[in-house]
Amino acid sequence: MVLQDRAKATREAIIAGAAAVFEEHGYGSASLTQVSDAAKVTKGALYFHFQSKEDLARAVIEEQHRIVVAESETLLAEDGPALPAMILLCRAFGLKLVHEPAVRAGIRLTLEATAFGPPVQGPYEDWIAVMEQLTDRAKREKQVRSSVDSEALARYLVASFTGVQMVSGVLTGRADVMQRIDEMWSILLPGIMHEDFHEDPQTLSRLVAAEVPIPRGAEVESSA
């Protein structure tokens, strides 16, 4: 058991070190020597867990996806209103980009995946599916207009978020990413909100900047 725990800790250290290196240098310029130095492990220990730089890159992408999925599952388990949940999911992802090197590295590697294999589609497909399900629920709850195509909106949201965080990364190192996500929603909401849903779009978009998410079971005022 002690050896298993030690091996698990070593693997986690390698992934963390790889995330730091990939985030800074990208896949093409990163080296396994840099990773072993960042993780403070020997080359032998690194090769025991990962046979190649490609294996390491895929492990970082998997870790990024695991972190985001776990955060999403926690939020969705609260079973709050659907439209605010969509906004809060973007908020949660934005905060992970700010605070989690593995998430930043995973996003960069996802965009660079053709350098070491086929495009990485799974994380995007999963996120689109969640947003589509939430849009369907928001339509039933009369928060989103019934005329909105749920799949199209889900794809648009994921594409918009991806572009917003990328531009924020280029211009400010993501220092303003939460503000940019807030702006994204403030522009989008007036065009999709149901006519019987009387929440202020600016109030909803500011959920992105809220220090604490809406509590479990919180109701957003709407007309039946």
- pLDDT one-digit tens code per residue, 117-175: 777 888 899 999 999 999 999 999 999 999 999 999 999 999 999 999 999 999 999 99
Within-domain flag for 67: yes
Residue 212's pLDDT is: 41
Mean pLDDT calculated for residue range 187-209: 93
Within-domain flag for 48: no
For residue 214, pLDDT over 50 is answered with: no
Over residues 47-86, the pLDDT tens digits come to: 999 999 999 999 999 999 999 888 888 888 878 899 999 9
Within-domain flag for 223: no
End-to-end CA distance of the chain: 56
Mean pLDDT for the chain? 88
Q: Are 170 and 185 in contact (CB under 8 A)?
A: no
Q: What is the CATH number of the domain that holds 107?
A: 1.10.357.10
Within-domain flag for 172: yes
| Total tally of structural domains belonging to the chain | 1
| pTM for this entry | 0.83
Within-domain flag for 171: yes
Within-domain flag for 92: yes
Within-domain flag for 9: no
Distance CA 201, CA 205 (A): 6
Helix axes 177-192, 82-99, angle to 10 degrees: 160
pLDDT band at 211 (very low <50, low <70, confident <90, very high): low
Distance CA 155, CA 103 (A): 20
Phi, psi of 193, rounded to the nearest 5 degrees:
-70, 140
Q: Are 158 and 113 in contact (CB under 8 A)?
A: no
Q: Are 161 and 181 in contact (CB under 8 A)?
A: yes
Per the structure, the complete domain to which residue 199 belongs is given by 61-209
Residue 79's pLDDT is: 80
Within-domain flag for 74: yes
